[in-house]
């Protein structure tokens, strides 16, 4: 994709990776529309150079309508970056089914609602590009990520399936799987975060991957290598490793 001149919609753009990516794409010459729940935060990110389209992606009808408004504002849509998401640590000793529902509604169904807003028009056009934000946390099960990781694993499956179904119809589908990025979400973490990078570095990696039409955009490189290898670890060995993590946490009282 040629980013300069492209018409782009970024969801989850009020902070973190989404905000940094919106700025990066605008700096590279794209016409950008941004969405999230907070109008005030979106305006601060936009700085007067992006279209602001507030929406709560858990609301299906509102999200589909927002996609239509973005197309009207930009004169069409070439690229949709579906980045809206939430994270909270899960505690098995205080089981909370609502935590799963909240993650599902934002991370998975929020993405599905946005897809409903962009896929039909892209199919009619016979072209377009969709970038979905998953996570390396979706590669394998991790203690504390039962709710979050489940939705990210579902997104990995969803975008892989869409690559096969939409690719022959002229639509490029890419999956972004970040490692640890310094954002308001990760600022709440109390566990070690190896290879932590800035949102700006993440945005550059994503924009470069978009420009190259990479099927998977995984970063930073050390985290990508660790998690790719993790996929190959036998189940028994992975369970032993994650159980050891849990025992260390219990000894620390976390």
Chain segment 23-74, per-residue pLDDT in tens: 999 999 999 999 999 999 999 999 999 999 999 999 999 999 999 999 999 9
Q: Give residues with Cβ within 8 angstroms of 126, minimum separation 6.
A: 169, 170
The three-point CA angle 171-173-175 to 5° equals 170
27's tokens: 């700096």
138's tokens: 């979706």
Give me the catalytic one of 87, 90, 139, 148. Answer: 148
From the number of C-beta atoms within 10 Å of its C-beta (0-12, 13-18, 19+), residue 110 rates as buried
Least Cα distance to 21 among 1, 55, 50, 62 occurs for 50
Catalytic residue at 148? yes
What pLDDT does residue 254 have? 53
Q: Which residue positions in the chain have pLDDT lower than 50?
A: 187, 189, 191
Task: Return the domain boundaries, the chain.
Answer: 7-252
Dist CA 35 CA 53 (whole Å) = 5
Break the chain down into helix, strand, coil percent, rounded to 5.
55, 15, 30
What pLDDT does residue 183 have? 62
Least Cα distance to 116 among 61, 49, 173, 48 occurs for 61
165's tokens: 């179904």
43's tokens: 């305006």
What pLDDT does residue 179 have? 80
What pLDDT does residue 122 have? 98
Dist CA 180 CA 141 (whole Å) = 16
Write down how long the chain is.
254
Report the predicted TM-score, pTM, of the whole model to 2 decimal places: 0.89
Superfamily for domain range 7-252 = NAD(P)-binding Rossmann-like Domain (3.40.50.720)
């Amino acid at each position: 994709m040629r980013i300069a001149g492209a018409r782009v919609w970024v969801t989850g753009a009020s902070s973190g990776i989404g905000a940094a990516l919106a700025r990066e794409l605008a700096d590279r010459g794209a016409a950008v529309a941004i969405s999230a729940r907070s109008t005030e935060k979106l305006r601060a990110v936009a700085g007067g150079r992006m279209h602001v389209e507030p929406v709560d992606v858990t609301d299906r009808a509102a999200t589909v309508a927002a996609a239509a408004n973005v197309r009207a504002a930009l004169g069409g849509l070439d690229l949709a970056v579906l980045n809206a998401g939430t994270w909270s640590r899960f505690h098995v000793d205080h089981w909370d089914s609502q935590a799963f529902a909240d993650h599902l509604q934002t991370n998975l169904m929020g993405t599905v609602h946005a897809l409903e807003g962009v896929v039909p028009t892209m199919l009619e056009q016979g072209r377009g590009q969709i970038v979905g934000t998953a996570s390396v946390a979706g590669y394998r099960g991790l203690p504390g990520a039962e709710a979050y990781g489940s939705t990210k694993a579902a997104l990995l499956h969803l975008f892989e399936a869409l690559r096969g179904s939409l690719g022959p119809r002229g639509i490029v589908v890419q999956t972004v799987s970040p490692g640890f990025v310094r954002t308001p979400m990760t600022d709440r973490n109390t566990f070690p975060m190896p290879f932590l990078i800035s949102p700006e570095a993440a945005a550059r990696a994503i924009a470069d991957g978009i420009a190259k039409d990479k099927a998977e955009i995984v970063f930073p490189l050390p985290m990508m290598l660790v998690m790719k290898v993790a996929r190959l670890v036998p189940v028994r060995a992975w369970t032993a490793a994650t159980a050891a993590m849990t025992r260390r946490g219990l000894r620390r009282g976390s």
